Chain A
Amino acid sequence: MDKNLASRPKVKVAFWITESTLAYLLLLPAIAVLIAFMLYPIVYVFLTSLYKTNRIGNLVKFIETDNFKTLFSRREFWEVTIRSVIWTVLAVSAKTLVGLTIALLLNVDFKGRKLARTLVILPWASSVPISAMLWQWTYNYDFGLLNYTLKITGLWKHPPHWLGYPLSAFFANLYVDIWIGIPFMALVFLAGLQSVPPNLYEAAEADGASLWQKFYHITLPLLKPVLLIATLLSCLWTFNDFNVIYILTKGGPVNSTDILITFIYKYAFSFLKFGPAAAMAVVAFAILLILSLLYAWFYFKSERY
């Protein structure tokens, strides 16, 4: 893999361009675009969290950490934050497992594989707000086909009002988020599996390795970088998954499905309280930053060997 990076002789393009310079030249356009458009918004969020704002979002008074203090004293904030973490862990685990399973299955050459691969992408193919609305329709107690099908197939004689009660609403939301995220995981893992040299498997089979051994000792290690990146990104996106919950339950019933991002939305867009909203955004960022640092440590460690 990347073990060569350290031992390789330096690369030269032309005598006046060092490797570092070349790298920066190649990176410059991307960096420039990102700075131009994301620097101000990010800085603004941090600034806003430290200020009292008027309802239009203009910074009024520097109040240091007051926004944070108010935030930390509210019980709902902690509930919502913990729920966000639980939400993310559950969803990402499910997405990874199911995605990996599907990728492994689709890696096998069977008739109709091409069709299956195309169909798997469907949950990802429509925009999240529209998918959420279609799911809202499916979850409908009276006219939705989910409960109807559960009843007539006998799978569940008395299915609940999915979006009406805290526990069922949480899992209903979770399922939709997982559902939307599975194709991406499956696709990413599939592409990763494709890069595994088949002769490795052939060699292992010749040695009498079982299916599980092949998976554990060949597939998994080679997939590690892809796995790490995919799950990390999925964590970032899932933590911030706003549309699903907002459209299905608006965080209800009684805030039982609120996660940090829907809470932020409420404070910013419904109550026009940009200060606390920004403070929460900073907290969300901090959580994701810590997570990413952990990942980065793992990732760069695996690179070096």
Chain B
Amino acid sequence: MKKIGLIAMTLSLIPLLFGTPVGAKKEVSFFLALYDGLRPEYYQDLNRAFNEANPDIDLKVIPVDWNKLHDKLVVAIAGGRPPDLSVIGTRWLLEFLDIGVVEPIEKHLSKELIDNIEPGAMEARINNVLYALPVAAGPRFLYYRSDIFKKHGIAGPPDTFEEMLTYAQKINNPPNFYGVGMSGKKYVELTEFAYYLLGNDGYFFEINPDGSYGKCRVNDEAGVGALTFMNDLVNKYKVTQSGVTAYTRDEVQDLFVSGKLGIILIGAYTDVILKQRGVTFKWDYGLIPRFAGKDRHPLMITDSIMMFEASKNKEAAAKFLEFFYQDEWRLGFDKQVGFPPVLKSVGKMPYFQAPIYKVMVNSMSGAKGWPLIPQWAECNDIIWDAIGATFLGQKTPKEALDEAAARIDEIREE
């Protein structure tokens, strides 16, 4: 069997090589994820400017749509041709580490650059080593309709989830207007559940004294409590839009932007969209609530730039990162994508003193990130199914989470 495979492989080598000519320039390829709002001119200029300033390096910025980035990386890695650098969702770092393709980026960066990074964005720091360079931080917070709140005599954003429920009940006005938005359609990020889980002082896994992850604890009191609360919002109090399992978080966002929801828990880009679409209603934002009596633990979601171990031009790649992370380029990037700055120096600039950025920065302190385990993608999938089954009434929260936890522990044993 294998022999035939080898013969076939040899046969397939017969056609001539249309290879790229070997030049004196060091080639660096960079998979840049296409962020909403990031204009092509930005990265084309970045590409050109760097190449001009470094004639011995040939940088290629390769734009890839976010939704397809993971697939493209998997094929490139499994196919033996990873890029030198790539933007990644930091939660992917562990699965790539597990494969052994990650080059710890700390080794190649200057101390100044590393010190300049906001501590709240250091999700890719594992055991005190920075494996990937934070490129974007996506804080989450609560948007609400300040005009509707005022009409009902509510002063400001809710501090606890219980308050949120009370407010939602007051402003709930089906079928045209609902209190709170909830997404129940399986999506890459588990954020909806994470807000409630972390707000209930829960987490996905027990943390062992040495920092490693222990048993799955989504089905403990905190976890079941969080999911029960979410389910009650949907099915008992009915303060959410109907058919939650048909909505991804983008679609919930669309509902809010078109004026049909009073409260949503979502990220920074919504602010940009609200302004772009010229909405006429009044809105404001606050921090993600917590459950009464629990500490506030916001969710930290960052994207990072990762260097591949197979890269042949690591120094050149690092040079590019130093270039990219100069204040003016980072400022341009952050402005266009609407995220808070990951660099301290940029954070001090006047543009970022606007109130929304204060909220964003606040929301990043004390934040917890996703569990850094290689099987996280599968755990993510399992938990989503548990949530969906609960919303559809197929299982109770406890049943669903018990099954999920058992299954997760199983796959971690494998």
Contacts and interface: CB of A to CB of B under 8 A. Distances in A.
Q: CB–CB under 8 A between A and B in the complex?
A: yes
Interface of A: 35-37, 39-40, 43-44, 46-47, 54-57, 140-143, 160-166, 249-255, 266, 268-274
Nearest to A252: B186
B99 A165 contact: no
Interface of B: 1-2, 4-5, 8-9, 11-12, 70-71, 74, 77-78, 95, 98-101, 184-187, 242-247, 251, 254-255, 258, 260, 374-375, 377-378, 381, 384-385, 388-389, 392, 394
Contact of B8 (A40, A47, A249, A251): A40
What 3 pairs across the A-B complex have the smallest Cβ distances? A164-B246, A161-B243, A161-B246
Contacts of A36: 8, 11-12
B101 A56 contact: yes
A76 to B, nearest CB: 10
Contacts, number: 105
A164 B70 contact: no
A43 B4 contact: yes
Contacts of B384: 252
Contacts of B98: 55
A69 to B, nearest CB: 14
Given A43-B5, A266-B381, A161 B242 contact: yes
Given A35-B11, A142-B254, A254-B389, A43 B101 contact: no
Contact of B78 (A39, A56, A163): A56
B377 A271 contact: yes
Residue among B99, B100, B258, B260 with max Cβ neighbours from chain A (10 Å):
B99
A40 B247 CA distance: 41
Contacts of B99: 54-56, 272
A253 B246 CA distance: 8
Contact of B74 (A37, A142, A250, A272): A272
Interface of B is mostly: helix
Contacts of B385: 252, 254-255
A35 to B, nearest CB: 7
Chain A interface SS verdict (over half): loop
Contacts of B243: 141, 160-161, 164-165
Given A40-B9, A252-B388, A161 B74 contact: no
A164 B101 contact: no
B254 A143 contact: yes
15 contacts: A39-B8, A43-B5, A44-B5, A46-B1, A55-B374, A142-B258, A143-B254, A164-B245, A252-B185, A252-B388, A253-B185, A254-B392, A271-B375, A272-B377, A274-B78
Given A141-B246, A165-B392, A39 B251 contact: no
A43 B381 contact: no
Contacts of A270: 70, 377-378, 381
Contacts of B377: 270-272
Nearest to B11: A36
A40 B385 CA distance: 36
Nearest to B242: A161
Nearest to A160: B243
Contacts of A250: 185-187
Contacts of B187: 250
Given A36-B8, A143-B254, A47 B245 contact: no
A252 B244 CA distance: 13
Contact of A254 (B12, B70, B244, B388): B388
